[in-house]
Structure 1
Amino acid sequence: MTTLGGHASIRLDDSEVAPVRLAAGDIALVTGTGQYTISDDPSTGHQVTICGGRKYLPGGKLAADHWNLAPRTYGDGLPGATVMLRAAFELHSVVGDRLLALLPPPAVVPAGPRTGAALDLLAAEMSRDEPGQDAVLNRLLDLVLVLALRAWCAESATMPAWCRALGDAAIGEALRLLHAEPARRWTVAELATKVGLSRAAFAARFTALVGEPPITYLTAWRMTLAADLLRDTDETIAAVAHTAGYMDAFAFSAAFKRACGVSPSTWRHQAH
């Protein structure tokens, strides 16, 4: 969520974290499925609850029609009111979980020129109801989310090592190669040649910047991709193993269990 004008306070209802104040243009990234409260001040009582895309007044009654000011817009519309924009993403990806798990509750991205321009365009589109509107809004929301995550990573002291390593010419290129072709039978020597370093220099530099050796990182990345395939597709264990770079399903199953604590078939069953 973000405040487009005025200020707001956001409180996670099931957390001991203190309420966070948002100035105009700030973006709050809230992960998880817990309830949270948005207000002008933490002491302000509840006036409306949003659940399942509907607005309810205290007591459980649906909000009256006068709350709807425009398409996708509601409130009282009084002069000087704080304007907020809220969107929700349903993510079902172990790949995404690796990044989201690093975000504090909540992660606040201060207002800036790059996110501000995207928010202005999104706000202008929000109040319209024209052909193709959903496609436009979905892509603008994706843009705002990526810009916000990138801005947070650039300023955060807790940014993951692999993310910082992308800024290194040689190690960043090695990571891009691993991400692009995870099933390839990579060796440290081949990766070193690809990025123009000796084997020893590459291995030492990769480990120092990423926090683990190249093949250890590759194995973890393969297991992450495999977990998503097991949950989101009906591919056989053997097919998933091949996609993850294993010719032998038994070797893949053993590696997956070491990484995830359960067998591939158990993971698939639990995920569904």
Structure 2
Amino acid sequence: MDALSDLLRRSRTSDADVRQLIQHPPWAMTFDRTPPLTLFAALGGRAVLRLDDRPDVEPCDLAPGDIAVVTGSSRHTVSDDLATASRVVIRAGRKHFLGAPSDHAELARLLAPRTYGAGGPGATTLVRGTYAPQGDAGRRLLSALPPVARVPANPRTGAALDLLTAEAALDEPGQDAVLHRLLDLILVLALREGCARLGLERPTWYHALSDPAIGAALEQVHTDPAHRWTVAELAAAAGMSRAAFAARFAELVGQPPLTYLTDWRMTVAADLLRDGSATTVAAAARAVGYQDAFAFSVAFKRVKGVSPSRWSREPEAAGPPVLSDR
């Protein structure tokens, strides 16, 4: 399994909470206390996205076909223009109306549970999906991304957005399931396009996936992290000499092969311990290839900063919980 697929699977990044935004200028909507990962897909019209809690990040203009992935903000506003004042704040799925009380009834009528607004000529249409990546794998995914990444319209994401546009206009049985799956697909396409084509600085391991030899070695590690991999075995999988492979891996991934292997094993073990999949430290150790629980505990503490028993006993040792606005 390739590294990105494995990371998404382990962080349980799927089944987005999907909403459609259809607004006529002037308009502005603020989302507060949002989950750690939000995706906006522009289906028609134009919008501007700003991170209210990250003034150091430039606003992001969205044209039809553009996608924005937000990971560094829990409060952001999307609008037709930066000068437009927000009329509603959506917090934990609840709508809080701003401005004159006489306008609140009309705003409430327009903001239905699944679609925020109404269509017509000149409207801007966006689809918004929120995700709550879980555990240590989720933190690893989020830390690999910038606060906001805009993926411009392109043929590879365009086909999926065309299908999303068509499906969003329907009201048929199973529509929610289709929208969720389509947005999951668009998230993966956006991450792939953003990392591969936009030159994002992080994650370093993603750039290595485009290298056939190093990508093959990473696939081996993620397919079977419990195997007792050696540099020689991974070099053989890559079709390279041991020395050339070790140098190339460190150059592209930013870590020596066995350091990366240990880090990934500890990520897997951390989530097993936290979600109860491994009932004991010894079981977690065996799951990631350690027969000696003591050696595993030493490696875990070196990588995570706390012992595995404390990690499983004290959830706060694993960092703040992941929020959801479902």
TM score, norm. by length of structure 2: 0.76
Structure 2 counterpart of 1:53: 93
Once the two structures are TM-superposed, the CA of residue 42 in structure 1 deviates from its matched residue by: 1.0
> Would you tell me which structure has more strand in proportion to its own residues?
2
Deviation string 1:195-247 (CA, Å, 9 cap, x unpaired) is: 33222222222222222211111001101111121222242211111111111
Once the two structures are TM-superposed, the CA of residue 108 in structure 1 deviates from its matched residue by: 0.8
C-alpha distance in 1 between matches for 2:62 and 2:222: 36
Structure 2 counterpart of 1:120: 162
Secondary structure, counterpart of 2:68 in structure 1: strand
Structure number with higher relative contact order (C-alpha < 8 Å, ≥ 6 residues apart): 2
Is 1:93 aligned to 2:135, yes or no?
yes
Query: Judging changes above 3 Å, is the alpha-carbon distance between structure 1 residues 103 and 193 closer, same or farther for their aligned structure 2 residues?
Result: closer
CA contact (8 A) 2:195 2:202 kept: yes
CA contact (8 A) 1:9 1:38 kept: yes
Structure 2 counterpart of 1:188: 231
Task: Give the stretch that moved more between structures: 172-181 or 50-59.
Answer: 50-59
C-alpha distance in 2 between matches for 1:26 and 1:245: 43
Structure 1 counterpart of 2:282: 238
Once the two structures are TM-superposed, the CA of residue 78 in structure 1 deviates from its matched residue by: 4.3
CA contact (8 A) 2:89 2:95 kept: yes
Once the two structures are TM-superposed, the CA of residue 33 in structure 1 deviates from its matched residue by: 5.6
Structure 2 counterpart of 1:258: 302
How many residues get paired? 271
Secondary structure, counterpart of 1:114 in structure 2: helix
Structure 1 counterpart of 2:45: 6
Ranges in structure 1 where 5+ consecutive residues have no aligned partner: none
Once the two structures are TM-superposed, the CA of residue 97 in structure 1 deviates from its matched residue by: 2.6
Once the two structures are TM-superposed, the CA of residue 157 in structure 1 deviates from its matched residue by: 4.0
C-alpha distance in 2 between matches for 1:156 and 1:66: 43
CA contact (8 A) 2:72 2:147 kept: no
One-letter amino acid of the structure 2 residue matched with residue 72 of structure 1: R
C-alpha distance in 1 between matches for 2:53 and 2:111: 29
Displaced runs of 4+ in structure 1, greater than 4 A?
59-65
Once the two structures are TM-superposed, the CA of residue 65 in structure 1 deviates from its matched residue by: 5.2
Give percent identity, aligned residues only: 59
Structure 2 counterpart of 1:153: 195
TM score, norm. by length of structure 1: 0.90
One-letter amino acid of the structure 2 residue matched with residue 2 of structure 1: A
CA contact (8 A) 1:57 1:63 kept: no
C-alpha distance in 2 between matches for 1:54 and 1:42: 23
Query: Judging changes above 3 Å, is the alpha-carbon distance between structure 1 residues 232 and 123 closer, same or farther for their aligned structure 2 residues?
Result: farther
One-letter amino acid of the structure 2 residue matched with residue 11 of structure 1: R
Matches within 5 A, 1:54-73: 54-58=94-98, 64=107, 66-68=109-111, 72-73=114-115
Ranges in structure 2 where 5+ consecutive residues have no aligned partner: 1-39, 322-326
Task: Give the stretch that moved more between structures: 7-16 or 152-161.
Answer: 152-161
Structure 1 counterpart of 2:63: 23
